[in-house]
Amino acid sequence: MEIKEDGNCFHEVKITDQDGLLRTIKVPVVQQLALNGLKHLPDRYINVPPDHPVVSYSVPDLSQTFPAIDVAQLTIGPRSECLGRAQELVKLARVAKEWGLFLIINHGIEDSVLRGVEDVVRGFFGLSFEEKKLSVGTYMNVDNMGYGHNFVRSENQRLTWIDRLAMKAAPREASEGLHVWPQNPANFRQVMEEYVEGARKVCNHLLEALAESLSLEKHVFLRNLDSKSSEINVRVNYYPQCPRPDLSLGITPHSDGSALTFLMQFGATGGLQVLKDAKWVTVPWPENMLLVGVGDLLEIMSNGRLKSAWHRVATKADGERLSVALFFNPPSEAEIEPVKDEGPSNESYKKVIVGDYEYKLMEIKEDGNCFHEVKITDQDGLLRTVKVPVVQQLALNGLKHLPDRFINVPPDHPVVSSSVPDPSQTFPAIDVAQLRIGPESEGPGRAQELVKLARVAKEWGLFLIINHGIEDSVLRGVEDVVRGFFGLSFEEKKLSVGTYMNVDNMGYGQNFVRSENQRLTWIDRLAMKAAPREASEGLHVWPQNPANFRQVMEEYVEGARKVCNLLLEALAESLSLEKHVFLRNLDSKSSEINVRVNYYPQCPRPDLSLGITPHSDGSALTFLMQFGATGAGGLQVLKDAKWVTVPWPENMLLVGVGDLLEIMSNGRLKSAWHRVATKADGERLSVTLFYNPPSVAEIEPVKDEGPSNESYKKVIVGDYMRNYYKISPTIDKQAINFAKI
C-alpha cells in the first residue's frame, strides 16, 4: 500500500538542474505530514546523521549570561545620557559579541500589534492546503517566494522539517512577484506591515547603539540602511511536531545574510540553538520577548568586531512552533565596507556589493558549484554517483562557517591534542645512513641506531628519518608538481579521475566516500597506483599538468622504495630476526606502491572537523613527506590514551608501521592509530606512499624459537584489504582482528 505520509499535498518548487534546465519538483508539505499523525520520519527528512543526534546544552544563570537588552534605556533623547544607558551599552556590546544575538524588552512595539501578528500567522496556517497554496510567487523564475519549503535546490537534497511563507515588505517598488501577501486572513498584509514599521524603528535604534557600544560614530551602520531603499524580507516559519527530533532539524546550521535579523516566536519554545564554545546551546528565549541577531553584513561593516551567529532550529515532538523573522538589509546595489578605526589599518574584510554577497549566499557558495562525483554502491546494491563538495573551493571562497556535513567530531568532544616533551629524546629521528649495510657498518653507531629504531617503532608505530639518501632536488620537485596540480582550476584538476572496480574513485577526489549521508573529512586528495605498472590503467590517473608530474613522482617513489627496503631489513634486525624476513614478502617486481597526495586547506572550525578520521594504515610501511603549514603539524597519534601531535619538522620524512607489518611481526611492531587535524591558518599538503605485498600474496607471522606464541594467522593480503575497507574507522584498530587468532 502506498504510504500516505505526504497526504497528497506538495509544494511545487522550481529548480535549475545540473544541466541548466528549469524543472519543477514536488516537496511534501510538512504541516500535512504532522496532521496525518506520521509516526516514522521519512528518510528524506533525516538531516542529522544517526550517529550525531541533535544534542544541545542549556545556559546557566540566564540573567547574567544572556541578559535582555532594555531598548528604552538606549533610546536617543535629552535624558538619555544617564548611567543606566551607559551600562546598557556595555551589556549590549558584550552579549552581541559573545552570542551574535540578544533578547530585547521595552522595545515600544505595542502588545496589540504582536498579538495581531500571531493571529494572522496562525490564521494563515490554519487554512486548508488549497487556500494556502494560492500565496505562491517566484523570483527570477527560480527561487520560490510565498508559501513553500525552505531553500530547495535539488531533487535529492535532504529536507528540513519546516513550511514557510516568504515575502518582501520593503521597498514597495520591488517586483510584485515578491509581494505574495496572503488574501486570507484579509488583514494579513496590514497587520504585518504595521509590525515591520515598528521593528524598523527598533532596528535603527539598535544599529546606532551597537555603533556607540563599539566607540564608533553612531550613524556608521545606519547610513547603509536608508529607510526608503533598504530591504526588509519577511519569513514566517512553521515547525509542526516531529516524530524524530533527534534526527531532523527545522533549519540546518547557517548564519543570516542580513545586517540585522528581528524575530518573534509563539507556540512551543526552545527550538533556536546557537553554536557557542564548540557546543550547540539552546537559546533561552521566553515567548514574550523579541530576539535580534547580528547578520553577516553587519559583521562585515563592523570589520569583524561583531560576529554573526552560527545557528540552527531544532524540532519538537510535542507541539508546533512558529516564528516570524524580519531580515533588514541595505539595498542590493549598495556597496558596504568595514569601519576604519584610528591607527594602523587592521581591516579583515573588503568592500562588497550587497547584491553580489546575497547572490553568492543564495547559490550556497560554500560548495563553489564544484563537486567531486563519487561512485558508491547503495544499500540496495545499486551503483550510484553522489556529489561531494570540493574542500579546496570551500576555503578559496572564504567560508566562515563549517558546513554541518563536515562536522566529523562531535561538538562535545572537540579536537584536543598534547605536545611531546623533549622530542629529541622522546621521538628521535632515525639516521638511515647508520643503518646501511656495508664493510664499515658494524660499528657502535649502527647498533645504537638499531636499538633506537626498535624503541621508537614499538612505542609510537612511526618514526622520523634523516640522511635517507633521497636528493633534496627530488623532494623539491615533488613539492613543485604537487603545488602545481592543486594550483590548477577545478576543471583541469577533475580531468585526473579514474575508477577501480566501478566503485572506488581513484585520482582527484574526496577520501573514502561510501554513502551519500556520511560525515565528510576536510580534505581533497589525489590517489594513484605507482607499482606494479601492470595494474589496471584505471588506477594510473597521473595528472597531465604539470607535464612532469609522473616523472618526478616515480623518481621519488623509486628512491622511497630503496629506503623502505633498508628499513624493513633494519626493523627485522632490531627484533633479532633474520634480516629478510619482512622484505621477502615485498618483491620489487610485484609489490604494490600506492600514492596519495593529501590537500588540507585552512578550515573555519579545526575543533570540529578532521582532515582524516582515526585509522591505522593497511600497508606494510607508510612513507610520508609534508609541506605547507609550519609549526605543530596536523598528524596526531593516540598514545597512552591521549591524542599527541607528532613532532614532525617539515624537512624530515616520516615512516609508519602498517597493519600488514604488525601481522608479519606477530604483534612485536604495532601500527599507529592516528588522525589528521586541520588548521585555521594556512594550507597543509602531504604525500603518502603505501608499500604493500602483492594482493595475491599470503603473509604470516614470524616464528620465534621456543613454544609458539603466535597472535596472528596467515592471511591473503587482498582478503585483508577488502576487510579493512569495510570496517568502520571509528573503533580503535578493529580491522586487524581479521588476522588475529
- The pLDDT assigned to 540 comes to 58
**Residue 502 pLDDT level (bands cut at 50, 70, 90):** very low
**Residue 118 pLDDT level (bands cut at 50, 70, 90):** very high
Give the residue with greater pLDDT, 389 vs 470: 470
Residue 174, pLDDT > 60, answer no
Q: Do 193 and 182 meet the contact criterion of CB atoms below 8 Å apart? A: no
Least confident among 88-92, 369-373, 550-554, 568-572: 369-373
**Residue 267 pLDDT level (bands cut at 50, 70, 90):** confident
- The pLDDT assigned to 725 comes to 74
Give me the mean pLDDT over the 648-653 stretch.
87
Residue 250, pLDDT > 70, answer yes
Q: Do 15 and 143 meet the contact criterion of CB atoms below 8 Å apart? A: no
Winning range, highest mean pLDDT, from 156-160, 263-267, 490-494, 718-722: 263-267
- The pLDDT assigned to 78 comes to 41
**Residue 541 pLDDT level (bands cut at 50, 70, 90):** confident
Give me the mean pLDDT over the 274-299 stretch.
88
Query: What whole-number distance in Å separates Cα of residue 77 and Cα of residue 494?
Result: 62
DSSP state, 269?
-
Among residues 616, 473, 457, which one has the least CA distance to residue 548? 473
Domains in the chain and their CATH numbers? 50-127+162-364 (2.60.120.330), 387-695 (2.60.120.330)
- The pLDDT assigned to 15 comes to 67
Among residues 277, 297, 281, which one has the least CA distance to residue 231? 297
Give the residue with greater pLDDT, 397 vs 188: 188
pLDDT tens digits, 653-689: 999 999 999 999 999 999 999 999 998 888 899 999 9
| Average pLDDT of the chain, as a whole number | 83
The residue assigned the cell 600488514 is: 660
**Residue 55 pLDDT level (bands cut at 50, 70, 90):** low
Give me the mean pLDDT over the 692-706 stretch.
85
**Residue 53 pLDDT level (bands cut at 50, 70, 90):** low
Give the residue with greater pLDDT, 622 vs 2: 622
**Residue 379 pLDDT level (bands cut at 50, 70, 90):** low
Distance of CA 626 to the CA centre of its chain: 23
Amino acid identity of 447?
A
**DSSP states of 362-390:** HTTTTSTT-EEEEEEE-TTS-EEEEEEE-
Residue 560, pLDDT > 90, answer yes
- The pLDDT assigned to 368 comes to 41
Residue 88, pLDDT > 60, answer yes
pLDDT tens digits, 190-205: 999 999 999 999 999 9
Among residues 227, 204, 213, 220, which one has the least CA distance to residue 337? 220
Give the residue with greater pLDDT, 621 vs 351: 621
Can you point out the beta strands (E) in 581-677?
A: 592-600, 610-615, 621-628, 635-639, 642-645, 653-657, 674-677
DSSP state, 26?
E
What percentage of residues in the chain have a pLDDT greater than 70? 80
Least confident among 72-86, 497-511, 659-673: 497-511
Q: CA distances (Å), 302 to each of 217, 376, 459, 585, 725, in order?
A: 12, 45, 51, 63, 48
Residue 278, pLDDT > 80, answer no
Give me the mean pLDDT over the 708-727 stretch.
81
- The pLDDT assigned to 443 comes to 65
Segment 365-368 long-range contacts (CB within 8 Å, at least 24 positions apart): 365/397, 366/394, 366/397, 366/399, 366/401, 366/403, 367/393, 367/394, 367/403, 368/393, 368/394, 368/396, 368/397, 368/490
pLDDT tens digits, 572-617: 999 999 999 999 998 777 889 999 999 998 888 888 889 998 899 9
Residue 142, pLDDT > 50, answer no
pLDDT tens digits, 418-455: 777 777 778 889 999 999 865 455 667 899 999 999 99
Specify burial of residue 412 (Cβ count, 10 A radius: 0-12, 13-18, 19+). Answer: exposed
- The pLDDT assigned to 439 comes to 44
Other Cβ atoms less than 10 A from the Cβ of 332: the count is: 15
**Residue 367 pLDDT level (bands cut at 50, 70, 90):** very low
Q: 553 CB contacts (<8 Å, ≥6 apart)?
A: 478, 481, 528, 530, 542, 595
- The helix/strand/coil state of 10 is strand
- Residue 637, strand partner residues: 644, 674
pLDDT tens digits, 354-365: 888 876 666 543
Residue 266, pLDDT > 80, answer yes
- The helix/strand/coil state of 385 is strand
Least confident among 157-161, 308-312, 371-375, 705-709: 705-709
Query: What whole-number distance in Å separates Cα of residue 238 and Cα of residue 162?
Result: 6
HSE value, Cβ hemisphere, 13 Å, CA-based, for 725: 12
Residue 375, pLDDT > 90, answer no
Give me the mean pLDDT over the 733-739 stretch.
73
HEC string of 178-211 equals HCCCCCCCCCHHHHHHHHHHHHHHHHHHHHHHHH
The residue assigned the cell 582532515 is: 611
Amino acid identity of 715?
V
Give me the mean pLDDT over the 98-103 stretch.
94
Query: What whole-number distance in Å separates Cα of residue 164 and Cα of residue 147?
Result: 6
Q: Do 463 and 449 meet the contact criterion of CB atoms below 8 Å apart? A: no
What percentage of residues in the chain have a pLDDT greater than 90? 44
Q: Do 357 and 257 meet the contact criterion of CB atoms below 8 Å apart? A: yes
- The pLDDT assigned to 151 comes to 73
Least confident among 152-161, 407-416, 488-497: 407-416
DSSP state, 612?
E
Query: What whole-number distance in Å separates Cα of residue 212 and Cα of residue 339?
Result: 13
Q: CA distances (Å), 689 to each of 20, 557, 685, in order?
A: 40, 8, 14
